[in-house]
Structure 1
Amino acid sequence: MKLALITDEVGQDVEEAIRLGLDFGIRHFAIRSAWGLNVAEFEDAHLERLEALLETYDVGVSSVLSPLFKCHLPGGPDRPHHDPHFVGFSRDPRDHLDRVGALAATAGRLRAPVLRLFSFLLPDLPDLPGLPGLPDGISAPGRLPEAAYAELARIPGAMPPGTVAAMENEHVCHIRTLPELQDFLGERGEGFGAALDLSNHHLAGGSVDPTAMTPHLVARAVDLHVKDRRDGRYVPVGQGTFDWSGILRRVRDLGYDGFVTLESHLRGDEEGVRASLTALRKVVTA
């Protein structure tokens, strides 16, 4: 397994994030936003700037954390969804459809093995309050509507060589839990990988038991996002209720050798990010 860090968990300055990650031996970084822009809005100048930093520090990109399809379905409700971790990209589904090719090209240019995407926002889920105090136990229908499959089916074929389109389970989208993600991959998700998020699974009412990571799901996994919670709030990894030592032991035993990506939801809290990386490095390398 390889430890990775989402750069904007540290801040919008990619170089600052790389330097912090190098303090913990991290050689792979996930790109979600930088310099005040969502990765979906990067132009050549931004990619050239990023490529120069990657070359200077001899590090690589683990994943392009695109916002693709974290929007309502075409013809769905025209209602904004507020998300503090969603930087600066349109919620109009037409814009998402238009950016598939460009984001695939970005992943290829950065030699990123993973391009993350979502399964469209649920139509009737209320906006959630700002982080770090998201409510636990959200319950909502989780089946992806038939109308979405035509849009998703073309995604794997649009990927450049060496890049996998990875569906993430997200508690405000149609695929919320790990079983729902496994069902999608088995029924209609040919060509997709999985970006596993146990915290999102928990927020949708799922157990945090390590056995939630089933052999079939882990076999399709290309990324595993790590965060921790206690008393309805995000806390540094190791200070919450998630047994990350047991979880990572479980996926390792099942043969997982992909990325373990810190997504602490402690943006701006460098002390918390560093504490998370200290705890996570111990269990990833154990």
Structure 2
Amino acid sequence: MIRLSAFADEISPDLHEQITVLKEQGIHYIDLRGVWDTNVLQLNDNQLADIKRELEAEGIGVAAIASPIGKVPVTSSFEEHLQHFERALEVARYLNAPYIRIFSFYPPMLTEATEQGQESTPGIDAYREEIIQRLTVLTRKAEEAGVTLIHENEKLIFGDTIARNVDLLKSINSPRLRGVLDPANYLQCEQQPYPEAYEAISPWLEYVHVKDVNAAGELVVAGAGDGRWPDILRRLRADGYDGFLSLEPHLAAAGEYQGFSGSNLFRKASQALQHLLKEMDWEYA
């Protein structure tokens, strides 16, 4: 049976408000990205203990640690980034989260080219080998920790397009590195989420982010845009998908490290998804 989860910081920075709305919407899992305006990897041990206690008391599980790992220029210090990744593994183990969301690095920032006297920076493809190497290191550490990394097809990172996403998943070829299907992100990269992206990454598909984009480029609730959500849901069901559908609607704001909807718009996003599921009689928890 599929399970609903949510990036609850889309609702509010306040943990209690996050929990209230999740329970009201019948959502029993969370993708932990931030609480109290603090990123998940910056939360201290006492804060994590408070979060764990509150979530367990309310019967809400942590589906994934929605980390910013890999959302930095590929030319930045990998050793420093590994320290953040080790923290992500610690947090996942502590909160019993089976997944850590990651990205696959940005190309160098324009400021780097300016400092080096270059007129432009190399494209992301020039760093393919370095990116594969870095992601391989992260995957091996995840294998040792018994945690699964899920790669999000975010705009401007290496794995933003269908072809490069397949390239990195196939090249690393580990059951501990799997793919996220984010239809809205594919649309923002002028890629077709269905059937093209779906079929290409289906051998590695293990997680789904729920948001949509219309023809004007506006983020909308699932089914109101060009993401072909009814088709995607029918195909997921036909293919036996039994993972998470995680709401990440970004209806009020979409920033580099997080999006925001607010409680009312989040409710609309949740109700739109659940309406689609009920129309097709697909049971969910």
TM-score, with length taken from structure 2: 0.82
Q: Which residue is 1:33 aligned to?
A: 34
- The amino acid that maps onto 1:40 is L
Check whether the contact 2:7–2:33 (CA below 8 A) recurs between aligned residues. yes
- The amino acid that maps onto 1:169 is N
Residue by residue over 1:27-48, the C-alpha shift from the partner in whole angstroms, topping out at 9 and shown as x without a partner, is 1111111111111111101110
Check whether the contact 2:158–2:165 (CA below 8 A) recurs between aligned residues. no
Greater Cα shift, 198-207 or 150-159: 150-159
**Pick aligned residue for 2:166 from 182, 202, 212:** 182
* Residue 116 (structure 2) pairs with residue 115 (structure 1): no
Report matched runs for 1:128-147 at 5 Å: 145-147=128-130
Q: Which residue is 1:257 aligned to?
A: 242
- The amino acid that maps onto 2:14 is D
- The amino acid that maps onto 1:185 is L
Q: Which residue is 1:152 aligned to?
A: 135
Cα distance, 1:125–1:263 mapped onto 2, change above 3 Å: farther
* Residue 281 (structure 2) pairs with residue 281 (structure 1): no
Check whether the contact 1:111–1:162 (CA below 8 A) recurs between aligned residues. no
Report matched runs for 1:149-228 at 5 Å: 149-159=132-142, 162-190=146-174, 191-214=176-199, 217-228=201-212
**3-state DSSP of counterpart to 1:69:** coil
Q: Which runs of 5+ in 1 are unaligned?
A: 76-91, 127-139
Cα distance, 1:261–1:147 mapped onto 2, change above 3 Å: same
Greater Cα shift, 266-275 or 244-253: 266-275
Report matched runs for 1:15-94 at 5 Å: 15-74=16-75, 94=79
Query: Identity of paired residues, percent?
Result: 29
**Pick aligned residue for 1:103 from 77, 88, 95:** 88
- The amino acid that maps onto 2:164 is E
**3-state DSSP of counterpart to 1:17:** helix
Check whether the contact 2:6–2:30 (CA below 8 A) recurs between aligned residues. yes
Q: Which residue is 2:6 aligned to?
A: 5
Higher Rg: 2
Check whether the contact 1:178–1:213 (CA below 8 A) recurs between aligned residues. no
Cα distance, 1:7–1:95 mapped onto 2, change above 3 Å: farther
- The amino acid that maps onto 2:270 is L
Cα distance, 1:255–1:179 mapped onto 2, change above 3 Å: farther
Question: 1:94, 1:7 → 2: CA distance?
Answer: 30
> Deviation at 1:141?
5.4
More helix by share: 2
Cα distance, 1:169–1:144 mapped onto 2, change above 3 Å: farther
- The amino acid that maps onto 1:16 is E
Check whether the contact 1:115–1:163 (CA below 8 A) recurs between aligned residues. yes
Q: Which residue is 1:78 aligned to?
A: none
Would you say how many aligned residue pairs link Structure 1 and Structure 2? 256
> Deviation at 1:95?
3.4
> Deviation at 1:192?
0.7
Residue by residue over 1:209-258, the C-alpha shift from the partner in whole angstroms, topping out at 9 and shown as x without a partner, is 345311x6234222111111221111223332322111111122122211
Cα distance, 1:40–1:95 mapped onto 2, change above 3 Å: farther
TM-score, with length taken from structure 1: 0.82
Cα distance, 1:148–1:65 mapped onto 2, change above 3 Å: same
Greater Cα shift, 145-154 or 223-232: 145-154
Question: 2:234, 2:124 → 1: CA distance?
Answer: 31
Superposed CA RMSD: 2.2
Cα distance, 1:143–1:53 mapped onto 2, change above 3 Å: farther
Q: Which residue is 1:245 aligned to?
A: 230
Q: Which runs of 5+ in 2 are unaligned?
A: 112-122, 252-259
- The amino acid that maps onto 1:207 is Q
Cα distance, 1:146–1:120 mapped onto 2, change above 3 Å: same
- The amino acid that maps onto 2:56 is E
